[in-house]
Protein backbone atom coordinates (compact mmCIF):
# COMPACT_ATOMS: atom_id res chain seq x y z
CA UNK A 1 0.00 0.00 0.00
CA UNK A 2 1.24 3.50 -0.83
CA UNK A 3 2.57 5.30 2.25
CA UNK A 4 4.00 8.72 2.94
CA UNK A 5 5.89 9.59 6.14
CA UNK A 6 6.83 13.10 7.17
CA UNK A 7 9.40 13.99 9.82
CA UNK A 8 9.66 15.58 12.21
CA UNK A 9 6.04 15.84 13.32
CA UNK A 10 6.76 19.23 14.85
CA UNK A 11 9.68 21.63 14.53
CA UNK A 12 10.37 24.77 16.47
CA UNK A 13 12.93 27.23 15.06
CA UNK A 14 14.24 30.63 15.92
CA UNK A 15 13.84 33.30 13.28
CA UNK A 16 16.75 32.97 10.86
CA UNK A 17 17.55 29.36 11.84
CA UNK A 18 17.54 27.28 8.65
CA UNK A 19 16.33 23.68 8.61
CA UNK A 20 14.83 20.92 6.46
CA UNK A 21 11.63 18.91 6.52
CA UNK A 22 11.64 15.32 5.27
CA UNK A 23 9.07 13.36 3.33
CA UNK A 24 9.73 9.72 2.53
CA UNK A 25 7.49 7.47 0.50
CA UNK A 26 6.74 3.96 -0.61
CA UNK A 27 4.66 4.62 -3.67
CA UNK A 28 4.58 2.53 -6.79
CA UNK A 29 5.05 4.35 -10.05
CA UNK A 30 5.66 7.87 -8.77
CA UNK A 31 3.94 10.40 -11.01
CA UNK A 32 4.27 13.56 -8.92
CA UNK A 33 5.32 14.96 -5.57
CA UNK A 34 3.49 17.96 -4.12
CA UNK A 35 4.19 20.29 -1.22
CA UNK A 36 1.46 22.33 0.41
CA UNK A 37 1.30 24.75 3.29
CA UNK A 38 -1.73 24.77 5.57
CA UNK A 39 -2.66 27.42 8.10
CA UNK A 40 -5.09 26.56 10.92
CA UNK A 41 -8.70 26.33 9.75
CA UNK A 42 -7.79 26.84 6.08
CA UNK A 43 -7.35 24.67 3.03
CA UNK A 44 -3.87 23.62 1.87
CA UNK A 45 -2.05 26.23 -0.21
CA UNK A 46 0.01 24.91 -3.12
CA UNK A 47 3.78 25.42 -2.95
CA UNK A 48 5.61 23.08 -5.35
CA UNK A 49 5.22 20.19 -7.76
CA UNK A 50 8.15 17.89 -8.58
CA UNK A 51 7.93 15.15 -11.18
CA UNK A 52 11.32 13.43 -11.33
CA UNK A 53 14.29 12.57 -9.12
CA UNK A 54 16.91 15.32 -9.12
CA UNK A 55 14.37 18.06 -9.71
CA UNK A 56 14.52 21.16 -7.49
CA UNK A 57 12.24 24.19 -7.16
CA UNK A 58 12.57 27.39 -5.16
CA UNK A 59 10.24 30.08 -3.95
CA UNK A 60 11.41 32.82 -1.64
CA UNK A 61 12.84 31.09 1.46
CA UNK A 62 11.67 27.61 0.44
CA UNK A 63 13.40 25.02 -1.73
CA UNK A 64 12.02 21.58 -2.54
CA UNK A 65 14.13 18.66 -3.74
CA UNK A 66 13.25 15.13 -4.83
CA UNK A 67 15.17 11.85 -4.83
CA UNK A 68 13.94 8.37 -5.69
CA UNK A 69 12.93 7.70 -2.10
CA UNK A 70 12.27 11.04 -0.44
CA UNK A 71 11.74 14.74 -0.75
CA UNK A 72 13.07 17.60 1.34
CA UNK A 73 11.66 21.05 1.95
CA UNK A 74 14.53 23.35 2.91
CA UNK A 75 13.66 26.54 4.74
CA UNK A 76 16.35 29.21 4.69
CA UNK A 77 16.34 32.00 7.30
CA UNK A 78 12.68 31.45 8.23
CA UNK A 79 10.44 34.22 9.52
CA UNK A 80 7.50 33.94 11.95
CA UNK A 81 5.07 34.13 9.02
CA UNK A 82 6.47 30.81 7.77
CA UNK A 83 4.82 29.12 10.76
CA UNK A 84 2.30 26.61 9.42
CA UNK A 85 1.82 22.89 8.82
CA UNK A 86 3.67 21.69 5.74
CA UNK A 87 2.14 18.75 3.91
CA UNK A 88 3.66 16.57 1.25
CA UNK A 89 1.70 14.30 -1.05
CA UNK A 90 2.64 11.68 -3.60
CA UNK A 91 0.76 10.57 -6.63
CA UNK A 92 1.54 7.08 -7.83
CA UNK A 93 0.17 4.60 -10.26
CA UNK A 94 -3.20 4.48 -8.52
CA UNK A 95 -3.59 8.19 -9.33
CA UNK A 96 -4.78 8.85 -5.78
CA UNK A 97 -3.01 11.67 -3.96
CA UNK A 98 -1.53 10.18 -0.76
CA UNK A 99 -0.74 12.73 1.95
CA UNK A 100 1.66 12.58 4.86
CA UNK A 101 0.46 13.69 8.29
CA UNK A 102 2.43 16.93 8.00
CA UNK A 103 5.14 18.81 9.88
CA UNK A 104 3.98 21.61 12.14
CA UNK A 105 6.55 24.37 11.92
CA UNK A 106 6.75 27.15 14.50
CA UNK A 107 9.18 30.02 13.96
CA UNK A 108 9.77 32.17 16.99
CA UNK A 109 10.80 35.84 16.60
CA UNK B 1 -8.97 33.85 -11.45
CA UNK B 2 -11.23 33.03 -8.56
CA UNK B 3 -10.10 30.09 -6.48
CA UNK B 4 -11.98 26.99 -5.44
CA UNK B 5 -15.06 27.85 -3.40
CA UNK B 6 -16.91 25.61 -0.98
CA UNK B 7 -20.26 26.04 0.72
CA UNK B 8 -21.26 26.02 3.45
CA UNK B 9 -18.11 26.81 5.43
CA UNK B 10 -19.47 25.44 8.69
CA UNK B 11 -22.15 22.91 9.44
CA UNK B 12 -23.56 21.28 12.57
CA UNK B 13 -25.61 18.11 12.23
CA UNK B 14 -26.81 15.34 14.50
CA UNK B 15 -26.20 11.62 14.17
CA UNK B 16 -28.38 9.92 11.59
CA UNK B 17 -28.92 13.03 9.49
CA UNK B 18 -27.53 13.50 6.02
CA UNK B 19 -25.54 16.40 4.61
CA UNK B 20 -24.66 17.81 1.18
CA UNK B 21 -21.56 19.87 0.59
CA UNK B 22 -20.88 21.92 -2.53
CA UNK B 23 -17.71 22.78 -4.43
CA UNK B 24 -17.14 25.14 -7.35
CA UNK B 25 -13.77 24.54 -9.05
CA UNK B 26 -11.46 27.08 -10.60
CA UNK B 27 -12.86 28.23 -13.92
CA UNK B 28 -11.78 25.83 -16.67
CA UNK B 29 -10.86 23.02 -14.30
CA UNK B 30 -12.71 19.80 -15.05
CA UNK B 31 -11.36 17.52 -12.34
CA UNK B 32 -12.68 17.78 -8.79
CA UNK B 33 -11.44 15.70 -5.88
CA UNK B 34 -12.76 15.47 -2.34
CA UNK B 35 -10.76 14.82 0.84
CA UNK B 36 -11.55 14.31 4.50
CA UNK B 37 -9.14 15.81 7.03
CA UNK B 38 -9.11 14.78 10.69
CA UNK B 39 -6.44 15.28 13.37
CA UNK B 40 -5.86 11.54 13.68
CA UNK B 41 -5.90 10.40 10.06
CA UNK B 42 -4.75 13.53 8.26
CA UNK B 43 -5.92 14.14 4.70
CA UNK B 44 -7.62 11.14 3.11
CA UNK B 45 -8.83 10.86 -0.46
CA UNK B 46 -12.56 10.33 -0.92
CA UNK B 47 -13.15 10.43 -4.69
CA UNK B 48 -12.36 12.23 -7.92
CA UNK B 49 -14.73 13.33 -10.66
CA UNK B 50 -13.95 14.33 -14.22
CA UNK B 51 -16.53 15.30 -16.81
CA UNK B 52 -19.39 14.12 -14.57
CA UNK B 53 -17.84 10.66 -14.09
CA UNK B 54 -16.27 9.24 -10.95
CA UNK B 55 -12.77 8.19 -11.99
CA UNK B 56 -11.31 7.15 -8.66
CA UNK B 57 -12.51 6.32 -5.18
CA UNK B 58 -10.88 6.04 -1.77
CA UNK B 59 -11.57 3.58 1.03
CA UNK B 60 -14.69 5.10 2.50
CA UNK B 61 -18.08 3.45 3.14
CA UNK B 62 -20.93 3.81 0.69
CA UNK B 63 -22.51 6.48 2.92
CA UNK B 64 -20.12 8.87 1.21
CA UNK B 65 -21.14 9.71 -2.32
CA UNK B 66 -20.67 12.49 -4.80
CA UNK B 67 -21.57 13.80 -8.18
CA UNK B 68 -20.39 16.35 -10.69
CA UNK B 69 -22.48 18.56 -12.90
CA UNK B 70 -21.92 19.63 -16.50
CA UNK B 71 -20.44 22.96 -15.33
CA UNK B 72 -17.86 20.97 -13.28
CA UNK B 73 -19.39 21.98 -9.96
CA UNK B 74 -19.47 19.07 -7.56
CA UNK B 75 -21.44 17.96 -4.55
CA UNK B 76 -20.61 15.48 -1.85
CA UNK B 77 -23.25 13.74 0.22
CA UNK B 78 -22.89 11.87 3.49
CA UNK B 79 -25.90 9.89 4.66
CA UNK B 80 -26.64 8.53 8.13
CA UNK B 81 -24.04 10.70 9.79
CA UNK B 82 -21.84 9.27 12.54
CA UNK B 83 -19.86 11.11 15.20
CA UNK B 84 -16.66 10.04 13.43
CA UNK B 85 -17.67 11.95 10.32
CA UNK B 86 -16.82 15.20 12.08
CA UNK B 87 -13.99 16.61 9.98
CA UNK B 88 -12.83 19.27 7.58
CA UNK B 89 -14.00 18.32 4.09
CA UNK B 90 -11.80 19.71 1.37
CA UNK B 91 -12.39 20.01 -2.33
CA UNK B 92 -9.58 20.41 -4.85
CA UNK B 93 -9.61 21.07 -8.57
CA UNK B 94 -7.22 20.65 -11.47
CA UNK B 95 -7.46 21.07 -15.23
CA UNK B 96 -7.52 17.41 -16.19
CA UNK B 97 -6.72 15.44 -13.05
CA UNK B 98 -3.67 13.39 -12.00
CA UNK B 99 -0.77 14.03 -12.04
CA UNK B 100 -1.52 17.73 -12.38
CA UNK B 101 -1.36 20.06 -9.39
CA UNK B 102 -4.58 20.25 -7.38
CA UNK B 103 -5.72 23.53 -5.86
CA UNK B 104 -7.71 23.36 -2.67
CA UNK B 105 -10.70 25.27 -1.41
CA UNK B 106 -11.09 26.57 2.14
CA UNK B 107 -13.04 23.50 3.24
CA UNK B 108 -16.30 22.83 5.03
CA UNK B 109 -16.05 22.17 8.75
CA UNK B 110 -18.64 19.54 9.69
CA UNK B 111 -19.48 18.83 13.30
CA UNK B 112 -21.71 15.84 14.07
CA UNK B 113 -23.35 15.84 17.51
DSSP A22-57: EEEEE-SS--EEEEEEE-TTS--EEEEEE-STT-EE
Contact between chains at A99 and B33 (C-beta distance less than 8 A): no
Measured between CB atoms, does A51 come within 8 Å of chain B?
Answer: yes
Q: How far apart are CA A82 and CA B6, in angstroms?
A: 26
Q: What is the gyration radius of the CA atoms in chain B, in angstroms?
A: 13
B4 contacts in chain A (CB < 8 Å): 43
Q: Is the pLDDT reported for residue A96 higher than 90? A: no
Contact between chains at B97 and A95 (C-beta distance less than 8 A): yes
Q: Which of A51, A71, A43, A47 is nearest to A59 (CA)?
A: A47
Measured between CB atoms, does A98 come within 8 Å of chain B?
Answer: yes
Q: CB neighbours of B91 closer than 8 A, spacing ≥ 6?
A: B4, B6, B21, B23, B25, B32, B33, B34, B35, B74, B76, B104, B105, B107
Q: Please tell me whether residue A82 adopts helix, strand or coil conformation.
A: helix
Query: What percent of chain B stands above pLDDT 70?
Result: 99
- How close B48 comes to chain A (CA, Å)? 9
Contact between chains at A36 and B97 (C-beta distance less than 8 A): no
> How many CB contacts within 8 angstroms connect chain A with chain B?
57
Contact between chains at A99 and B44 (C-beta distance less than 8 A): yes
Cα angle A69-B38-B18, degrees, rounded to a multiple of 5: 130
CB-count exposure of residue A19 (10 Å: 0-12, 13-18, 19+): middle
The rounded mean pLDDT for chain B is 95
- How close B87 comes to chain A (CA, Å)? 11
B88 → chain A, closest CA residue: A41
Q: Say if residues A89 and A99 touch (Cβ distance below 8 Å).
A: yes
pLDDT at position A95: 77
Cβ atoms within 10 Å, residue B15: 11
Q: Which of the four pLDDT bands, split at 50, 70 and 90, describes residue A68?
A: confident
Q: How far apart are CA A29 and CA A19, in angstroms?
A: 29
Q: Is the pLDDT reported for residue B12 higher than 80? A: yes
Amino acid sequence: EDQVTQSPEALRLQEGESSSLNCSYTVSGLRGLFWYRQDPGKGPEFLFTLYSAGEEKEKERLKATLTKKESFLHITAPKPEDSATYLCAFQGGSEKLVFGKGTKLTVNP
Amino acid sequence: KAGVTQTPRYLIKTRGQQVTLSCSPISGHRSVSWYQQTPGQGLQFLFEYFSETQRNKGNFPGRFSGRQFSNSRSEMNVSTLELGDSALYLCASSLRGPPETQYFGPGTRLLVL
